[in-house]
Amino acid sequence: MRVISWNLNSRSNKAILSKQCDYLLEGNFDIITLQEISIRSEDFIKRTLGDKGGYCLVSSFDLADDQSILKGRRKFGEIIASRFRFSTNDPSQVYIPFPERVLSVTLTEGYPGLDIHTTHVPPGSTNGVVKVEHLEGLYRFLTKNLHRTRILTGDFNAPQAEHINLGVVTWGQRILSSNRLKYYIKPLWRNSCTAERWDAAERNIIENVDHLLLYDVFRSSLSNDNGEGYSWIIKRNGRLTKRRYDHIFASKSIETVNCYYDQEPRDDGLSDHSPVIAEFDL
């Protein structure tokens, strides 16, 4: 099974959307999970992948009770496209502030019973404790379904860093000049959330997925360039910082054949994120 997860950066220009869809179709993926879809791009993507690729598709906008609220901070959604038929799961099962930021299906053919989840965690820099509540709600949902065989993908906007000596550094922490860590969040959010809570919310998904009977697919792959990888780059003060925000996690019963980040679509300007691609032996 060949799986891709990609944040499309809410592009709505038809020329860019066409190139994004061409890339997806040329990749011959069995499962496609997409984040940061907009109302303006949703129909084009669904029609193109459905008509040209023959995919079964659903978007989180399809499941929204009231589309009039899907604007501002809630204007982004997800799409799952599959070579196999599936049933769509009720988003209300996941108790998070923005329900359209999680999309789940269960395959009914090919690999019946396999759950596919994708999510786009709201960035904490603009949403504050909403990010923490999203991660906590997602974690609670996943703990209730430990027996399920599943693949979890998405843009988690975490971690802040994966330090060679300090390990995973969350956005509830700061790296000191002495190369030590301390709990820290922006003063703007301190009345609504502690740094310790923020750290735990990110760490429970990014680092402690063993508790969910899941594993980090990229980190498990022996062909991932010695564990180095990134999906997003920011340039500040002339310095480039690479971050691995996009992830694929899988049940321990699923064997990873390969996993990597494809930098070419980001380099070509198709999105500000690089897709993460995994090949599984089920």
Across the chain, which has 282 residues, the per-10-residue mean pLDDT values are: 97 96 98 97 97 96 91 95 97 94 97 98 96 98 94 98 92 92 94 97 96 95 65 88 96 96 97 98 90
Partners of residue 88 on adjacent β-strands: 105
Q: Are 59 and 77 in contact (CB under 8 A)?
A: yes
pLDDT at 227: 52
Positive or negative, the Cα torsion across 95, 109, 276, 257? Answer: positive
pLDDT at 223: 55
Amino acid at 233: I
DSSP H stretches of helix in 81-223: 124-127, 129-143, 195-206, 217-220
pLDDT at 6: 98
Residue-range domains of the chain with CATH: 2-157+204-281 (3.60.10.10)
pLDDT at 235: 85
Helix/strand/coil percent split, the chain, to 5? 30, 30, 35
pTM for the predicted model, two decimal places? 0.96
